[in-house]
Amino acid sequence: MHKHIAIFEVPGGSDKGTDGHRADTMPIVEALRALGWGAEVIFYSDDCVEEIFETVVSSCDGYVPRVNPGSIPEGDEKFHGLLERLSAAGLIGMTHPDTMASFGTKASLTTLTDTWLVPDDTYAYYLLDELRDGLSKSLSYGSRVLKQNRGSTGKGIWRVELLDPRSAEPGVSVPLDAQVRCTEAVDNHCEVYSLGDFVKFCERYLTGDGGLVVDMRFMPRISEGEIRLVFVGSRPVAVIRKVPAMAEGAFSATLFSGADYSYHDPSDYADLVSRFEDVLPVVAVRLGGGGPLPLLWTADFMADWGPSGEDAHVLGEMNCSCVGFTSELDRGIQDKVALEIILRVSEAATGLRHGASVEISPREPLVLA
């Protein structure tokens, strides 16, 4: 066992500081080193795959990708292929690309519609005919939110509102010539289409590997803010409340769109955190085959009303490909990430079951119990 971790980045990009790294990468490296482990940042390039593979497989026990989707100009296929090869060679992937894909896809929502997490009128469309017929029907019940699978920062996330009152009979498909107002979450800008033209516009989201569109009920209480739970493995470490900008029609909770962020301890949202923890075993089986949860990941919730008017919450999406925590470094999340990395590699080396208890303070040797 080498006790050494490779952390992958790509050169350049808006997420890098003056030192060329993401602001939350070197804190992880330093936290690992403080615990007696080696760690190094490796900048990935499609031109150096074999060289990177030989270097990492000969000196490291695990890898941590810190690469935002879309950051590699030629696409993520070769990078994910490298990660899969490293895992096949015995390295611990944190997080393995298969897990990143299963948790990160918007279609994951439709696998959870029989739980309290996701409304049962949530659909995934893979073909243009499915999108046309499905949206025509679902829109008759009220405003919808369409989500492309590969979007980030609100791109390709559209609120769709029916402007044509003659087409608002629940259960009766809305005609394709009905007018709809569409608001994109990336910046809350609005466009008006006929329903048929908007469906054709969305065809771009159905192309290529992973092409799909998820259709969810619009949650009016998004104006109260979105609640992001931040996890390291199965442990909640922070809560971020994201309140959309105070503008007419605004529903996006991204920083780019002007949303206001506030940071909280998980105990401030104890009921929601506890309920979600209770259902995590189901999430792990459905999305990860019962294997370990992602290393660092988030679950975003919107407020809703329950059947009797009580407060409820709805899961909007999960993210785990490259969750940033720059604004929360003072909470010591980097230390918790480092501890989880060491735990997972140590479990694999000793044959311990994932989830074994750990007794450790941030600067003491690791003790597995």
What pLDDT, on a 0 to 100 scale, did the predictor assign at position 364? 36
Strand 144-148 to strand 62-65: parallel, antiparallel, or no bridges (unpaired)?
Answer: unpaired
**Structure confidence at residue 358 as a pLDDT band (50, 70, 90):** very low
Contact between residue 266 and residue 273 where contact means Cβ atoms under 8 Å apart: yes
What pLDDT, on a 0 to 100 scale, did the predictor assign at position 250? 57
Query: How far is residue 303's CA from residue 220's CA, in Å, rounded to a whole number?
Result: 8
Options 3.30.470, 3.10.450, 1.10.238, 3.30.499; which CATH number does 103-107+222-319 get? Answer: 3.30.470
The fold for domain 119-219 equals: Cathepsin B; Chain A (3.90.70)
SS percent in the chain: helix, strand, coil, step 5: 35, 25, 40
What pLDDT, on a 0 to 100 scale, did the predictor assign at position 360? 34
Report the run of H or E that residue 286 belongs to, with start and end: helix 270-288
69 or 79, greater pLDDT: 79
What pLDDT, on a 0 to 100 scale, did the predictor assign at position 258? 67
Instruction: Note if the pTM is more than 0.75.
Output: yes
What pLDDT, on a 0 to 100 scale, did the predictor assign at position 167? 64
- The tokens 């296929």 sit on which residue? 77
Name which CATH class applies to 4-95+329-341: alpha beta
pLDDT in tens, 266-325: 999 999 999 999 999 999 999 988 789 999 999 999 999 988 889 999 999 999 989 988
How do the domains of the chain map onto residue ranges? 4-95+329-341, 103-107+222-319, 119-219
Query: How far is residue 165's CA from residue 120's CA, in Å, rounded to a whole number?
Result: 25
pLDDT of 247 > 60? The answer is no
Sign for the CA dihedral angle at 211, 215, 220, 221 comes to negative
Query: How far is residue 265's CA from residue 330's CA, in Å, rounded to a whole number?
Result: 12
351 or 128, greater pLDDT: 128
Sign for the CA dihedral angle at 205, 207, 210, 214 comes to positive
Report the run of H or E that residue 102 belongs to, with start and end: helix 97-104
Which segments within the chain are labelled E, that is strand? 4-9, 38-43, 62-65, 92-93, 123-125, 144-148, 157-162, 179-184, 190-194, 213-217, 226-232, 235-243, 260-264, 296-305, 311-319, 358-359, 367-368
- Of 13-22, 164-173, 182-191, 225-234, highest mean pLDDT: 225-234
**Structure confidence at residue 354 as a pLDDT band (50, 70, 90):** very low
**Residue 17 contacts by C-beta under 8 Å, 6 or more apart in sequence?**
23
